[in-house]
Amino acid sequence: MLTGRELRAFRKNLLAWFRQYQRDLPWRRDKDPYRVWLSEIMLQQTRVAAVIPYYERFLGRFPTITALAEAREPEVLRFWAGLGYYSRARNLQHAAQRIVGKYEGKFPNREVDVLALPGIGAYTSAAILSIAFNQRHAVLDGNVARVLARLFAVRGDLRESKRWQSLQKNADELLDANSPGDWNQAMMEVGAMVCTPRAPQCLLCPVAKFCQARKLGIQDQLPEKRTKHVPVRVTLAAAVFVDKQGRTLLMPPPLPSSTKAAADHVPTLVSKMWHFPTIASSANPASELRGHLQTIFPKEKDSEWNLHVLDTVRHCVTYRKIAIYPFRLHVAKLPRFSGSRMVAIDNLASLPISSLTRKIARAALDFPKS
């Protein structure tokens, strides 16, 4: 760690650099917690340039927490469409509803309350509380962790629990208690603009003289590569019902209040948006799917469903490699399930669906009608 004098100089250099060179970003023009929160959620896994137009459009339609809380979910998802990771939008709205219900629409300013909101973890909470409320919380995400790993020449997988905790301790010690919001943004900015993942620009770095990695000439080697997840293979079977009018049946996303048992009728990989009836398969996809359909449509017990196997669909979600066996079922009348919808199979875009569901629909449409 740095000596007292070095620490003061470090903070002074970084803050002066940030105040002079920071990018003019729309969410930096205002310290309103809703805006800070929205930008932080949109920026997760998404580049700044891609976020800007979405951020402005979203705020144009949902200018306040109350407006977001009162909107219909499909509309919120429509304004999010293209950004991906839709659970972010859903959590944002659930949190807005809780803020309206519990805090009269005013964003809470106690850490314990902020962390209890859906979709908000330690990083986002620290960012909102420091930027919007000037509270002393240091942010730590992959970007800041990279800067810290280089500053203190930290080796090994940064995401390993103990190492991450030690980086959080470093971040807490560096935090400028007088300007925590600017400080956190300065750390993020130096990571985004100067101490970049590849080829860090040490000659332009405001804190280069304090950097251990640069001193040792190893800045290009840090952070070290993460330990890789072993890929997990998942097999699913999905039912694509099609009636004479070319309509199919989609199951609803589970409500946030659904019990585990209620949500268990679909694998979580497909259950977060509208989806075809789906089951995880371990041995025989056709018979497992048939059994599943009899369970969720008990009134159709005697129906003679012919399952036409379609081309296997392949999909990847992080380290999971998914093989889906879709089956097309021609029926005179679509079965009913509480909350399900009938939609034209060739126009599923009227509901929020995942790319996995889209691929299954494509396989069903490519199947020659018997």
DSSP 349: G
**Taking CB under 6 A as the rule, does residue 150 contact ligand SF4?**
yes
- Please give the Cα distance from 112 to 126 (Å, whole number): 11
User: Rule CB under 6 A: is residue 143 a binding residue for ligand SF4?
Assistant: no
Pick 191 or 335: Cβ nearer ligand SF4: 191
- What is the footprint of ligand SF4 within residues 218-277 (CB under 6 A)? 219
Q: Do β-strands 232-242 and 320-330 pair in parallel, antiparallel, or remain unpaired?
A: parallel
Binder to ligand SF4 among 126, 205, 269, 289 (CB under 6 A)?
Answer: 205
Nearest distance, CB of residue 201 and ligand SF4, angstroms: 6
Q: Which stretch binds ligand SF4 (CB under 6 A): 177-185, 208-216, 244-252, 349-357?
A: 208-216
Least separation, in Å, of the C-beta of 184 and ligand SF4?
A: 16
Between CA 323 and CA 320 the distance in angstroms is: 10
Looking at the DSSP bridge assignments, the partners of residue 313 are: 324
Residue found by looking up tokens 């940064």 in the block = 158
Q: Does 145 bind ligand SF4 (CB under 6 A)?
A: no
- Please report whether residue 207 would count as binding ligand SF4 according to CB under 6 A: yes
208 is a contact residue toward ligand SF4 (CB under 6 A): yes
- In whole angstroms, the minimum distance from the beta carbon of 203 to ligand SF4 comes to 8
Catalytic residues: 40
Q: Judged by CB, which is closer to ligand SF4: 43, or 147?
A: 147
- Separation of alpha carbons 236 and 325, rounded Å: 6
**Residues 127, 138, 186, 211: which binds ligand SF4 (CB under 6 A)?**
211
Options 71, 131, 132, 151; binder of ligand SF4; rule CB under 6 A: 151
Per rule CB under 6 A, is residue 194 in the interface with ligand SF4?
yes
| Token couple for 311 | 């081309």
Cα dist. 194→24, 177, 355 in Å?
Answer: 16, 24, 35
Number of alpha carbons in the 13 Å side-chain half-sphere of residue 345: 26
213 φ/ψ angles, rounded to the nearest 5 degrees? -60, -40
Contact criterion met (CB below 8 Å) for 277 and 91: no
Site of interaction with ligand SF4 (CB under 6 A): 147, 150-151, 194-195, 200-202, 205, 207-208, 211, 213-214, 219
